[in-house]
Amino acid sequence: MEYEFLKIERIDGISIMKVSAPKSLNALNSTILREIGDFVENLDDTTRVLIITGDGEKAFVAGADIAEMANLNEEEGYKFGALGAKVFRRIETLDIPVIAAVNGFALGGGCELAMACDIRIASNKAKFGQPEVGLGITPGFSGTYRLAKLVGQGYAKEMIFTGKAIRADEALRIGLVNAVYEPEELMPKAIEMAQKMTENAPLAIKYAKQCINESYDLVVEDAMELESRNFGKCFATQDQKDGMAAFLEKRKPVFNAK
């Protein structure tokens, strides 16, 4: 499918998806949300890591499209929120790691998109915030859930109730991002991290991601059982056989499984 608002690049096993709506600082309208949904649903089997970033130098994603939302009624508002929530949940539950390379404004739905990714790294120009209450709405793409999970309820409530935007260094301090780089270093660092991941066993990464994602919502015994089960499943993979044989034979492993 040809995308109007996405630019897709490919470097070996890494796919890079750039949200590209320059006239609105990459704000997410329903067409973009559907395009993202289509793209992640149809990722080819050879993609081992997905990097999501924003086109241009100013914005990752400046939020959901306020012009599109302005005249929605209650039912339409619900549907718009649910569409984004579903697409973002699909990103979160992909079998592969997803890295958000936050190159500028990540506000509202932009912050929510970054939070649906497994890992966030940012340029020192990035700004994060959930300014929705200033527009008379709540966060709507699962920001109340994920922000509180990532930074704790107290700081999430401060950000959401004040609507304030925080700089990348503050996002780093509170654990919203893993690292902050000069703007020109951001994509090389994202690709370097992704490449490191592509050297490892894809099924093991998939099972580990599933454990981390799901264990938050489980009691500890169930989380331990899930991990034990996934650990066991690794022993049914060729990756485990070759990964351990390679160590013992002092050579590099060859990981092929998806």
Residues of this chain that interact with ligand HXC (CB under 6 A) are: 24-25, 27, 62-67, 80-81, 84, 105, 107-109, 131-132, 135, 139-141
The Cα–Cα gap between 105 and 252 comes to: 41
For ligand HXC, give the closer residue by CB, 65 or 227.
65
Determine whether 112 is an active site residue: yes
The Cα–Cα gap between 178 and 79 comes to: 32
**In the complex, what is the shortest distance from the CB of residue 109 to ligand HXC, in angstroms, rounded to a whole number?**
4
**In the complex, what is the shortest distance from the CB of residue 67 to ligand HXC, in angstroms, rounded to a whole number?**
5
From 57, 76, 112, 221, the catalytic residue: 112
DSSP class of residue 28 equals B
**In the complex, what is the shortest distance from the CB of residue 176 to ligand HXC, in angstroms, rounded to a whole number?**
16
**In the complex, what is the shortest distance from the CB of residue 82 to ligand HXC, in angstroms, rounded to a whole number?**
9
Query: Do 88 and 116 form a contact (C-beta atoms < 8 A)?
Result: yes
Residues linked to residue 15 through DSSP beta bridges, in sequence order: 10, 50
For ligand HXC, give the closer residue by CB, 15 or 130.
130
For ligand HXC, give the closer residue by CB, 11 or 83.
83
DSSP class of residue 135 equals G
For ligand HXC, give the closer residue by CB, 14 or 33.
33
Residues sharing a CB contact under 8 Å with residue 230, sequence separation 6 or more, in sequence order: 207, 208, 210, 211
The Cα–Cα gap between 76 and 52 comes to: 27
Tokens of 3: 């995308």
The Cα–Cα gap between 73 and 25 comes to: 25
The Cα–Cα gap between 210 and 212 comes to: 6
For ligand HXC, give the closer residue by CB, 58 or 189.
58
Which DSSP string do the residues of 163-188 spell out, in sequence order?
--EEEHHHHHHTTS-SEEE-HHHHHH
From 9, 76, 132, 170, the catalytic residue: 132
**In the complex, what is the shortest distance from the CB of residue 124 to ligand HXC, in angstroms, rounded to a whole number?**
17
The Cα–Cα gap between 143 and 79 comes to: 16
Amino acid at 195: Q
Which residues are catalytically annotated? 112, 132
